[in-house]
Copies of this chain bind each other. A is one copy, B any other.
Amino acid sequence: MQAEIITIGDEILIGQVIDSNSAYIAKKLNSIGIEVVQIQSISDKEQDILSALAAAQNRVPLVIMTGGLGPTKDDITKHCFCTYFEDELVHNPDVLAHIEKLFAQYVKVPINDLNREQAMLPSKAKLLDNPFGTAAGMWMKKGKTVFVSMPGVPYEMKHMMEQQLLPKLKQHFQRPAIVHKTMLTYGWGESRIAEVISDWEAALPDHIKLAYLPNLGRVRLRLTAKGNDEKILTAEVDALFENLYPLIGEIITGFESDQPIEAQIGHLLNDQNMSISTAESCTGGRIGAALSSIPGASSYFVGGVVPYQTSLKTKILEVPASLIKAHSVVSAEVALAMAEGACRQFSSDYGLATTGNAGPQKGDSDADVGTVYIALVGPGVRHVEHFNFGNHREKTIQKSVNKALEITLKLLERKVKKHLPIH
């Protein structure tokens, strides 16, 4: 069962907007066994849209489109649908009532003709509700292909996809099972891994495919299995990954979860009834931002401090000036003292700290650009690690955030699962 995604809008083609909708849609389709074979971004010109629809109809039984549903002149998706499906726009009173309600509640101005026009929809379309916006989604069929159009505003589209489209797709299409699982490794390059696991890779069965995903010091190994029975596929993939431990166990840090790592950390802290605070120098607050992006984070994330300038590490976190002088501000000792200072100042159980030099110039320390220390302290934990993430500022910051969250997750997991199998 294959599908294509078409996103409509010049903002993507001129690079003003990154198309994050497609990744979200692709992931959701994959989760119900629908394989995305192409993603396409096209301009909002009628001819381009009609050509794309016709071409896609020849290839796949399902086409998901986003964009071009707004009230303004540059939004032409529904007019293109009318042309393509030989249909006409008709007034939909339910949609109009919904638009009026939204305006009364949030916008607090009366609706105008352009808003009213959004209640004019192709007569053959089955509609998908949009509780967060004024543009309804559409489901239409031509030949053997289903075309779905959703709004381009990400949170409107996501809600529509999850609440309405996915259940409808499950009902409408027979789908095989697809299982993806991704192993995380840290420390080796992809070529070294590939060399060490080459026999294992060569012996993979035809229905299971391996991909190497290198990024920022990590290489992720993804197995994708296709077949009829999800349980059997999952067992096959698990068994294959199990066989990697004797080969590259030292670099395996875990598996990619559907949950972001900051949510996994949150669950573990909640389970232990523990709290965490952050003291971030080179990461500038991004770790705190990640932790607090999770709903309910205030039950375990107490707060954080970004003592970006050296003197503040002493003033706010009580890191002794003598310690900074003796070891330099970018050092294991200062990282630990920052983490301990955070615990004290924020009255938290755990303290997570970063200090480093992301460049481009050397700062208040002699440490090489790219040098970063990450420390986690807490009940039974006093851990610090040293890294050099190279001379690319943004890379160094993001690697530091990733690594700090990884270290935290790993140490918290160890505490919970004391009898983890040792590979």
Q: Which A residues are closer than 8 A to B by beta carbons?
A: 9-20, 22-30, 35-44, 48, 70-75, 106-107, 109, 111-115, 118, 132, 134, 153, 155, 180, 182, 189-192, 194-195, 201, 209-215, 222, 224, 278, 280, 283-289, 291-293, 295-298, 301-309, 312, 315-316, 345-346, 359-361, 363, 390, 392-395, 397
Q: Which residues of B contact A9 (CB under 8 A)?
A: 211
Q: Which residues of B contact A180 (CB under 8 A)?
A: 14, 16
Output the least CB separation between A166 and chain B (Å): 13
Rounded to whole angstroms, the CA-CA distance of A30 and B16 in the bound complex is: 10
Output the least CB separation between A65 and chain B (Å): 15
Q: Which residues of B contact A307 (CB under 8 A)?
A: 303
Given contacts A13-B35, A74-B210, A284-B301, 14 further A-B contacts (CB under 8 A): A13-B39, A14-B26, A15-B28, A16-B23, A40-B40, A71-B190, A71-B191, A73-B194, A73-B210, A112-B195, A284-B289, A286-B289, A301-B308, A304-B305
Q: Are A295 and B109 in contact (CB under 8 A)?
A: no
Rounded to whole angstroms, the CA-CA distance of A217 and B296 in the bound complex is: 24
Rounded to whole angstroms, the CA-CA distance of A77 and B249 in the bound complex is: 30
Q: Are A285 and B289 in contact (CB under 8 A)?
A: yes
Q: Which residues of B contact A315 (CB under 8 A)?
A: 345
Q: Which residues of B contact A312 (CB under 8 A)?
A: 302-303, 346
Q: Which residues of B contact A224 (CB under 8 A)?
A: 10, 14
A99 nearest in chain B by CB position: B191
Q: Which residues of B contact A286 (CB under 8 A)?
A: 285, 289
Rounded to whole angstroms, the CA-CA distance of A36 and B118 in the bound complex is: 29
Output the least CB separation between A69 and chain B (Å): 11
Q: Which residues of B contact A212 (CB under 8 A)?
A: 70, 72, 74-75
Q: Are B316 and A303 in contact (CB under 8 A)?
A: yes
Output the least CB separation between A196 and chain B (Å): 9
Q: Are B112 and A192 in contact (CB under 8 A)?
A: yes
Q: Which residues of B contact A35 (CB under 8 A)?
A: 13
Q: Are A305 and B306 in contact (CB under 8 A)?
A: yes
Q: Which residues of B contact A316 (CB under 8 A)?
A: 303, 305, 316, 345-346
Rounded to whole angstroms, the CA-CA distance of A212 and B135 in the bound complex is: 15
Known: A10-B224, A306-B303. A191 touches B292 (CB 8 A): no
Known: A14-B36, A191-B112. A304 touches B297 (CB 8 A): no
Known: A23-B15, A37-B48. A195 touches B285 (CB 8 A): no
Contact check: which of B37, B112, B194 meets A13 at CB < 8 Å?
Answer: B37
Contacts A/B (CB < 8 Å), 9 sampled: A11-B222, A13-B39, A19-B23, A74-B212, A112-B191, A114-B191, A132-B392, A134-B191, A284-B297
Rounded to whole angstroms, the CA-CA distance of A159 and B10 in the bound complex is: 25
Rounded to whole angstroms, the CA-CA distance of A291 and B280 in the bound complex is: 14
Q: Are B303 and A309 in contact (CB under 8 A)?
A: yes
Rounded to whole angstroms, the CA-CA distance of A189 and B30 in the bound complex is: 35
Output the least CB separation between A182 and chain B (Å): 7
Q: Which residues of B contact A305 (CB under 8 A)?
A: 303-306, 316
Q: Are B15 and A25 in contact (CB under 8 A)?
A: yes
Contact check: which of B11, B215, B345 meets A213 at CB < 8 Å?
Answer: B11
Q: Are A30 and B14 in contact (CB under 8 A)?
A: yes
A212 nearest in chain B by CB position: B72
Q: Which residues of B contact A211 (CB under 8 A)?
A: 9-11, 44, 74
Rounded to whole angstroms, the CA-CA distance of A15 and B361 in the bound complex is: 36
